[in-house]
Amino acid sequence: MKSRELLSEKDIQRGMNLVIGDGLAAEAMITLTGGAFLVAMALLIGATNLQIGVLSALPTLTNV
């Protein structure tokens, strides 16, 4: 794949569609693996209050 100075309108539109698709997939993953879904899954498999608290705190702790 060679780089080009100018992109065609078709290339730009394809790139925009790929970026939008990537953003949608990332948002779906974040939504389904965090918050209420994560707590519900933990409760379903029998997690304790401490384990749920640790799961809830992990995203904040990893951003420090």
Give pLDDT tens digits along the chain (64 positions): 688 789 899 999 999 999 999 999 999 988 887 778 888 989 999 999 999 999 888 878 887 6
- Reduced to 3 states, what is the DSSP secondary structure of residue 46? coil
Q: What is the pLDDT of residue 34?
A: 77
% of the chain with per-residue pLDDT over 70: 97
Q: What is d(CA 18, CA 10) in angstroms, rounded to the nearest whole number?
A: 12
pTM equals 0.59
Q: What is the pLDDT of residue 35?
A: 79
Output the average pLDDT for the chain. 89
Q: Are 47 and 55 in contact (CB under 8 A)?
A: yes
Q: What is d(CA 38, CA 27) in angstroms, rounded to the nearest whole number?
A: 15
Residue with tokens 């498999």: 45
